[in-house]
Amino acid sequence: MKLEVNIIDAFTDTVFKGNPAAVIITKSWLDKSLMQSIALENNLSETAFLVMDETGTYQIRWFSPITEIDFCGHATLASAFVIFNKNPELCAIKFSAKAVGVLPVIKTESGKIQMDFPNTNPEKVKTIPDKLKSGLSIEPVEVYRNSQAYFAVYETEHEVLSVLRDNESLMNLKPFDVVVTCKAESNKYDFISRYFWPANGGDEDPVTGSIHTGLAPFWAKRLGKNELVAYQASSRGGLLNCIVMGDRVLISGTAIQYLEGTIVV
């Protein structure tokens, strides 16, 4: 069996930056074990698998090299990029995923792809887990949590950029990952972050769209603004534009093609 695969660098306009994701569109679902094997072989943060249903909505599933993921923003952006490229007349599409429902996506006049996600604003943690404390080399000033991750809040960019992780400790927080964040000191961005996910995907994720559905409302409240620019400060780096609208968060970004090829399985 031959499958078309596209690898897209998401949340960037430069190849080798942002977060790469593989996108595979099929007429019907592959076996779950096969999808997991393909994701492992691809060895990217995520591989997205899509099947269009009878209503024209794309059912979407995301797999890291380790496990199926409930929600992935950058692979959704990559998937939308592929679909829009194949269908240039389209300006809007819909994805649907079991854990997060329907995800509308539009192509904006500026050329960015805007995704409409649920608001996953985190809540403050009363008792910080010991494994989180031992898993980060610098103690955060506050810790929050949503359904996806612990939010370790720091005072300075230096702390966010220099904090080291202990994967063995952080793995004990499963199913939760860890995002470290602070208010940006540069006027280019409103806040910055890094994302650690040894329990679900790997060491450090280059750019994590899904976590910004929690980061954006968190910083919107603190900064007193609903439109924010975020930078994920991994070695590859990525830029995200966020708008908080009640129970929804709009996240926009650019993407660029890296590879188009064929998988033989």
What would the two tokens of residue 150 be?
Answer: 């612990």
Tell me, yes or no, if 89 is annotated catalytic.
no
- Distance CA(164)–CA(181), nearest Å, equals 13
Q: Is the separation of the CB atoms in 59 and 100 below 8 Å?
A: no
Count of C-beta atoms within a 10 Å radius of residue 262: 8
The SS3 of residue 200 is coil
DSSP string covering 32-74, please?
HHHHHHHHHHHTSSEEEEEEE-TTS-EEEEEE-SSSEES--HH
Catalytic residue among 41, 46, 68, 157: 46
The pairing of strands 191-196 and 227-232 is parallel
Q: Are the CB atoms for 148 and 214 separated by under 8 Å?
A: yes
Q: Contact, 84 vs 113, CB < 8 A?
A: yes
**CB neighbour burial string for 131-168, b if at least 16 within 10 angstroms, e if fewer:** bbeebbeeebeebbbbebbbbbbbeebebbeebebeee
Q: Tell me which residues are annotated as active site.
A: 46
